[in-house]
Structure 1
Amino acid sequence: MRAQVVDKLEAGRVQHGRFATAPGSGPCGLFFVQGPCGCELKISAFVRPGWEHVAVSTPRRCPNWEEMCFVKDMFWDEEECVMQLHPPHSRYVNNSRYCLHLWRPIYRDIPMPSPSFVGVVGLSPSDAATLFARMSATA
């Protein structure tokens, strides 16, 4: 982990009470960190059998995309793939209304679709908006 990230996590580590972990315990534990959108993020990170798991919540709403990317980059390298899952309804567990989860299997790669399935590779959001506006005008 990068030094700045380690410092930020360590500063927010819960060190007392039921969910306390010792300083220097690495990326496992409960943390309170100021997020990039001005909201404090509650982050719990643990290794489970075969999985790395990070849960992210805020006091009044679900974390947004920017906050989830921020947390992802705190715990994993920017080129590692992690995922949010939408399990079958019969497997839902909802202990916190405003919590989202990031997962990474330890012993295998996550299959990924081609980036071109998502959109036009290399096109910026503003260029994409212009292109789609032109397409709508001619339709």
Structure 2
Amino acid sequence: MSISSVLRGLATVNFYAVDHEAAKKWYSEFLVMEPYFNVPGYTEFRIGDYQQELGIIDAAYAPEGYSTNPSGAIVHWHVDNLQATLDRLISMGASEFLPITDHSQGKGTFVTASVVDPFGNVLGIMTNVHYLEMLKEKAVDKN
């Protein structure tokens, strides 16, 4: 087994919310789309260039020990305009968790920020040159 086949790609990111309906509405507004899958207590959006899934789960189904305090890994979603996306999230009621940070010694190739959504989940956003290179490569492969 090659190392590259161990983790093949992001499949689903799950966020928990005590008020599932409010979270579904908030993410529908932020993503400018309705969920593609919706049952009581679980909502799922397919987003982005690769249609990765973002699931919103009623916190009643959270694993034992789940905390509404922000913690754990931060998944960063690529965005085209980091500042505008951050501003929009904050205007919608999210709070800054980590400020805009350039991890590329001022080159602007890997820049991140993150917010805590109104439901206690950390949402990471970033501009990532590697992501854009992969998109370009995939477009060439299709031709």
> Under TM normalisation by the shorter chain, which class is it?
under 0.3
Where relative contact order (Cα < 8 A, 6+ residues apart) is larger, the structure is: 2
Structure with higher Rg: it is: 1
* Richer in strand (by share): 2
TM-score, normalised to structure 1's length? 0.27
